Structure 1
Amino acid sequence: MTLKIFYLLSSLLLLLSPAFGQEPNAHGGGVLFFKGRYYWYGEIKSGETKKVPNSNWENYRVNAGGVSCYSSSNLKDWKFESIALKANQSDDKNDLHISKVIERPKVIYNKKTGKFVMWMHIDSQDYSFARSGVAESDSPIGPFTYIRSIRPNGNMARDMTVFVDDDGKAYHFYSSEENATMHIALLSDDYLSHTTHEKRILIDQSREAPAIIKHNNKYYLFTSGCTGWSPNAANYAVADSIMGNWTSFGNPCIGPDSDKTYYGQSTFILKVEGNRNKYYFLADKWNKLDLAKSGHLWLPLSFNKQGVPTVTNKMEVSPTLIK
């Protein structure tokens, strides 16, 4: 058995180690709806959790496992499709090497090119690399071909998300300036690079884990504070246009443990297809001492007549793994 085959089989065993009926192994990711199915992409967290030596914060990590892909027609039952983007086992200078950081993968579809584009946070163990990686595929389930990592317009880039507006333009939201300030950059027409059209928002507010949704022609950006693996209060900001002025309004969560986002951290806002006002606030429940046992929160997100969002700690959907 070659090393390559052994690695592939080992990766699949680790990925599918939870019994059917448990949660998919997809963390820090997002969901794409395409031709009647939802595709969920996320970080593969498996293996032993270790603290990075000489870190001045709780820098716990597992070996980078790549990006998983699951699909569903109903948001409850999820089928494993593939390791959409594989980690690299042998070249420690490769962005996707298991010693590196591969976080916050998001996939968008480009109608002009017919390609699926994945953006992600690429970093070194000490988080000094601070770059954005991009990959491309002809299929929603991959395999994705990794292209490169960059610092958008020369800026540090860590936690991130991407968003396609109604006009087909795509935007990259990312934490920059040592996580002090959020940046928004307009992507090129093929979604594979950045234009110079960029804006700084939430200046000196130290926000990460961005998740965005458009509702009634307004843009809502949900973020977390920067406290490592430890939970904190969510925040939302609103704008009339993506490159316009953003105003912060506070915590959208209500009820017990709302100041800790119910022990979760935002990753994506999911719009339910066919239901104009149905949204879910997706979050990760990190287990910093055993990251492979981290869980998910899929919580209802609603808007009142004034456009004020509310996140409620009620699991209407519990995503489970099926055969």
Structure 2
Amino acid sequence: MSPRIGVLGCGYWGANHVRTLKGLGALAAVADIHPERAQALASEHGCLALSPDEILAHREIDALVIALPAQFHADMAIHAIENGKDVLVEKPIALTVPDAERAVKAARDAGRVFMTGHILRFNPAFERLLALVDEGTLGALRYVHAHRLGLGKFHAEFDALWDLGPHDLSMIVALTRSEPTAVHGEGSAFVDQLNDFAHLHMRFPEHVAAHLFVSRLSPYRERRLSVVGSEAMAVFDDLEPWERKVALYRHKVWDENGRWKFEQSEPEYLPVEPGMPLTRELEHFLHCIETRGTPRTDGEEAIRVLRILTAGSASGEAV
């Protein structure tokens, strides 16, 4: 029998989880602080509508997806764990590293599965990019840069970096297989006191560098992650159709008698089997519940991402 999953939080992203879990045959109940919102979603998908306290305590619910405003994630995750439930917590899992560490420790001590909603780790195009790095196709990793730009959303509790940055930071951490040794951030706020733009510059072991640029006040959308290696380069562009999402560039740069030369190549678009990242993420969560395995995006990864966000925010200057 498939694990029975409840969703705590019936906003935009919680509703996406509800629809996907329904399709996977694992949806048991929904809950929200606004009863009418939970009831409407439950009626649409044929499941129980409960209060937050009821879904936390319900004995026939095996696990919870927690998709609340981020300031409530850590405490709600701990309450769920104390009630014997595995948890998938949307990003960011907390607004401070100590809160995240409390939640992850609670899961570890109780033997519960703790997974983070770093959804792009389950995008088949990113998996193809990661395979290029792991297989050595790009040579030694040298530089990673990510751009995530668009208009909105505007949150009252956290800025563009904390809203948009976790997506790309989780991918950068996966590509580098390490945490940065140095982080510097710069931000700018125009709508209110929270940064609408942010740049992060990171240094990793083995002379690897990375850069992240996020904006919630951009006239155009961009969702691009580029990787530069010693032998080749590759790009994951999430706004491209599946057949063009991953491009391999076999550019060459070499020293000839003390002068640097280069040779450009046309992009080679690599085949990627289409797949819905949220569906694949939740299938992985179900698998971890059933096997008691460690999620690909576990709590330790979430803490690493939060450390980078915190360091970048502390070093940055908002203007």
Q: Note whether the superposition's TM-score is higher than 0.5.
A: no
TM-score for the superposition, normalised by structure 2: 0.30
Structure holding more strand per residue: 1
Which structure shows the bigger proportion of residues in helix conformation? 2
- Give the structure, 1 or 2, with the largest relative contact order (CA under 8 Å, sep 6 or more): 2
Q: TM-score, normalised by structure 1?
A: 0.29
